[in-house]
Structure 1
Amino acid sequence: MARGPLRHFDWNLRSCGRHGHATYAPDEEALARRLHAPTPAGDAWRCLRCGDYVLGEPRGRGPAEDAPIVLRGRALRDAFVLRFLAVERGVRGLLLVALAYGIWRFDGSRQALQRVFDSYLPTLRPLADRLGVDLQNAGPVHLLQEAFAASHSTLLLVALGVLAYGALELLEAVGLWLMKRWGEYVAVVGTGVFIPLEVYELFEKVTVLRAGAFVLNVFAVVYLLWTKRLFGLRGGRAAFEAERHNESLLEVEAAAARDEATVAAR
């Protein structure tokens, strides 16, 4: 049961408010009777998402098996979380690709950049001394000096590694946004393999950025494993599909119509 400010939040109504009701008129007469209601104002059809009856023509018609897949309840909440994670992965992936390009460009312009660095560093040193800053041993300056000293092959390998990591993040983003099961597996594996490195970095130095990234990545892995039943967890894919079918209003009504027909035939 939801607690706090979300205890009365209805994901079905939120989605219907944004995208409209999902009404459908099945060809099967018994099922159509359960989804249709005549009113003085005209015919009303039951929304397959929120369950309310909506006046007017249905948005679709045809056999029940051709009805659109309508996410509802927990499936809508899961879709929201997956797309939030997809956006985060997408932004991170684009930044990594941009960083890889920057490292490649830096390697090609290293001599010019080093001349600029060497000319401006002495100019800034008197101001840094007044402020009590050891400019020579400052983190960014030290990092730049190491980069200038790195070989061409080292920088190329770093750029390729960063580019591959960025491509992996973008692949995760696409799979999660489209809510594909392969995307969930890629996200769990791709995120999980870097968690030990993040733990090591936290032991070295705890920062808000590192701690936030660690918490988000652990949440993503645990959430996907538990709710999507990956790697056979909690019954695996079969149990996940059965759970989704049990939440489908159309399938629930179809089962009820079959039960009615069975009782009437006795």
Structure 2
Amino acid sequence: MSIDWDRRHCSRKGHITYAPDDLRLRARLHAPTAVGEVWRCLRCGDFVLGEPHGSGPAELAPVVPRGRALRDLFILRFLAVERVLRGLLVVVAAWAIWKFSNSQDAVRRLFEDDLTVFRPVAEHFGYDLDHSPVVDTIQKTFDYKKSTLHGVAAGLGAYALIEVVEGVGLWFGKRWAEYLAVVATAAFLPIEVYELTEKMSWFKVGTLALNIAAVLYILIGKRLFGLRGGHAAFEAERRSASLMEVEEAAGEPPAPLPVRQRPAGTAAADRLPSADPR
């Protein structure tokens, strides 16, 4: 079952109509009815009752995303939500590390007191807290310098900012955000692969697969870095799907056939002398 992205979007966001100055083109987008004039929506192609949303030269008509462009925008917005949520989680982690660095000694004492309380319970169930990998990792963090923790928090904050900015740009379909998404995501792929070699998990595998798919989709589909004709080819493809461009091309009169393509016999007739009207 195929999705009609044009009508789906218009049902949620409303139609977009435009009255071009070109009377020939205007006639293809406009029709009178018994209840009033109707104008053709530039996105879904349906005729809409009422005044057009804009008017002017055809070349200044809004380039409304249609078909595949709308599907691409939907996918980009899915990635945008994922990037923003990830950024917010990283912000929480950065804030937690910053707070921990400012009260490191108090947290150490609290942890050691709790560890003393839970040690008999853990021994009862045969669990050695003194040699627990989790406990050892937590205790090592208490030995980190405050400046080191501040640096980690600042690094996480910068990463979170990149993710949020990237997400906002992708939501609005900005081309600079697509470049940022490809570069930033590809830069962290080696780290994700290294983490998989250390410890395998389905979550890590899914995250890596999603990021690789996102990089390839944006890189190839959006023709970044000159691929498949680059930005010029991308804009030409986007405008070729515009209803205004389609109707304008459809309204062009057929070009005259060159002599070599005319039906047989016409070329010979062209060479015959014309009759003298006298």
TM > 0.5 between the two?
yes
1:17-48 residue CA offsets vs partner (Å, 9 max, x unmatched): 00111111112211100101222332221111
Range with greater deviation from structure 2 (13-22 or 50-59): 50-59
Range moving further from structure 2, 106-115 or 119-128:
119-128
For 1:63 and 1:38, the matched residues in 2 are separated by 21
Q: What are the Cα deviations for residues 193-214 of structure 1, in whole angstroms up to 9, with x where unaligned?
A: 1101101111111113212211
What is the one-letter code of the residue matched to 1:143?
T
Report 1:95-174 matches (<5 A).
95-174=89-168
Residues 63 and 239 in structure 2, CA contact (< 8 A), matched pair in contact too:
no
Partners of 1:72 and 1:163 lie apart in 2 by: 37
Give yes or no for the alignment of 1:93 onto 2:87: yes
Q: Aligned equivalents of 1:35 and 1:212: distance in 2? A: 47
Identity rate, percent: 55
Distance 2:87 2:75 in 1: 18
Larger Rg: 2
Q: Deviations over 1:136-170 (max 9, x none)?
A: 34444222211101112221221122112112212
Q: 1:78 to 1:139 in 2, by over 3 A?
A: farther
Q: In the alignment, is residue 255 of structure 1 matched against residue 255 of structure 2?
A: no
Give the TM-score normalised by the residue count of structure 1.
0.90
Higher share of residues assigned helix: 1
Structure 1 residues 132 and 17: alpha-carbon distance in aligned structure 2, compared to 1, 3 A threshold: farther
Q: Does the residue aligned with 1:194 lie in a helix, a strand or coil? A: helix
Q: Which amino acid aligns with 2:58?
A: A
CA pair 22-139 structure 1, distance change in 2 beyond 3 A: farther
Q: Distance in 1 between matches of 2:204 and 2:36?
A: 59
Is 1:60 aligned with 2:49?
Answer: no
Per-residue CA deviations over 1:37-72 (Å, capped at 9, x if unaligned) read: 222332221111111112222222222233222111
Distance across 1 between alignment mates of 2:136 and 2:171: 40
Q: Superposed, which structure 2 residues align to 1:202-241 within 5 Å?
A: 202-241=196-235
How many residues are treated as equivalent by the alignment?
256
The one-letter code matched in structure 1 to 2:8 is R
